[in-house]
Structure 1
Amino acid sequence: MHTLYTRPETGGFAVHAALEQSGTEYKVVTIDKSKGDHRGAEFGALSPLGQVPVLKLPDGTAMTESAAMMIYLGDLNLEAGLGPPPGSALRPHYLRWLVFSAANLYMADLRYYYADRHTSDPAGIDGVKTSALADLTKQLEIVDQAIGDQPFLLGDTWSGADIYTAMIANWHPDVPALFAACRNLERMCNGVRELECVKTANRYHKSF
């Protein structure tokens, strides 16, 4: 069995949806930050940084890094459709957009919401947030252009890259304004919202 350690409204949302879609047996363990669960010795052994999500594998070892979990779960059951199989023409594009979202969108989002972690000068917090929001918006505009008139990033078929990107897009501090400017992105996010695996994950995470 796989065990997902997470909490609502975090990057565990996409992994939760991927677990559901993969068909593998899993359970969810909530790490309650208000109770200090993330500082406990047991969780610390799984996640040295004290961050969620963490995916414990059936052999007892642990994975961190949500994008890596998405790739792993996609390869675990290729028939689930979370990602194109290795060797397919779409595989490089799937990996590109999944990593783009993790390395750029996710990081810009964290800089915006946790600006104090990115400067030692309290007077610089507003500047960090302004820069982060500008980066996040520009990067989402790039995604919007990449989608074009397609339903999803890879064309007619959704993948884990769409779930991951839609999750972060919906963390934007002004989603209505974002979608007004990025109609292709809005269409993709609406399509992701209708996936059964996403609906299941959303009942816990409330990310959409």
Structure 2
Amino acid sequence: MKLYFAPGACSLAVHIALREVGATFDAVSVDLAKSVTADGTDYRTIAPRGYVPLLQLDDGSRHTEASALLQYVADLDLQQRLIGAAGSARRLAVVEWLTFASTELHKVFSPWLWHKETAESTRQAVKDKLATRFAELDALLGTQPYLAGEYSVADAYAFTIVNWSNFLGLPLTKYPNLLAYMGRVSSRPAAQDALRAEGLLK
């Protein structure tokens, strides 16, 4: 397999998950601003939409969308520890949180807070919505260590997106349980390895 990623982007979640399940894969860095891979290849010849993550399977097929890829990667582990068996309450909970991370975190942060041309009124509305979501997560994480109880691919996704607050200067000090959670996820060996591989840790 081959994972196309941009350091710190949502592809980090898939990168973490691949390491969690012990998958063998090559990681290819993409400069999204220039739309080129590390070797200078025009990334749009690989991914017409131009974004990451993109996972190329051993059969040559290419697939996108973080939440879909996270479910696929979780199922590479025959015990399905990161997602739960089909039809189980565990799987429903994990997929529910994957969807939450996708719609209520990822698509609130992005693209609004990343673009200078975003109106200040829009920025404030986005920050207000994120504050509501962070407060919800903080309350939940005061009662349990991870989103679906035990660690799952939903945590890899939520961690990756909430971590954008560091790049954007959004303090999490009002949310001590969320901060502690970020520390728990980032301290996992797979997360440490992925962060280091992406140049986000020294």
Q: Is this a same-fold pair by TM over 0.5?
A: yes
1:19 counterpart = 2:12 = no
Other-structure match for 2:129: 135
Post-superposition Cα deviations, 1:38-91, rounded to whole Å, max 9, x if no partner, equal: 7x8863244221111111111111111111111110012143622122122211
Q: In structure 2, do the counterparts of structure 1 residues 85 and 42 end up closer, same or farther at CA, with 3 Å as the change threshold?
A: farther
Q: Normalization by structure 2: what TM-score?
A: 0.87
Which of 147, 152, 160 is residue 146 of structure 2 equivalent to?
Answer: 152
- Structure-1 separation of matches of 2:36 and 2:60: 19
Alpha carbons of 1:207 and 1:182: their partners in 2 closer, same or farther (altered >3 Å)? farther
TM-fit CA distance, 1:99:
0.8
Aligned residue type for 1:33: L
CA RMSD of superposed structures (Å): 2.2
Q: 1:182 aligns with which of 158, 175, 184?
A: 175
Match of 1:203 among 188, 196, 202: 196
Alignment of 1:54-203 (within 5 A): 54-79=54-79, 81-115=81-115, 125-155=119-149, 157-172=150-165, 173-175=168-170, 177-178=171-172, 180-203=173-196
Structure with bigger helix share is: 1
Cα displacement (A) at 1:183: 2.0
Cα 1:35–1:57, aligned 2, differ >3 Å: closer, same or farther? same
Partner SS state of residue 181, structure 1: coil
Report the count of equivalent residues.
Answer: 197
Provide structure 2 residue ranges, at least 5 long, that are not aligned to the other structure.
Answer: none
Question: Which residue in the other structure is 1:32 paired with?
Answer: 31
Task: Report deviation, 1:97.
Answer: 0.7
Q: CA deviation at 1:207?
A: 5.2
Instruction: Structure 1: state its 5+ residue gaps.
Output: 117-121
Would you say the 8 A contact 1:93–1:154 is kept in 2?
A: yes
Contact 2:32 2:50 in 1 (8 A): no
Which secondary structure state, in structure 1, belongs to the residue aligned with residue 110 of structure 2? helix
Q: Structure 1 residues 83-92 or 41-50, which shifts more? A: 41-50
Q: Residue type of the partner of 2:44?
A: G
Cα distance in 1 for partners of 2:55, 2:120 equals 34
Seen in structure 2, the aligned counterparts of structure 1 residues 80 and 192 have a Cα distance that, compared at 3 Å, is farther
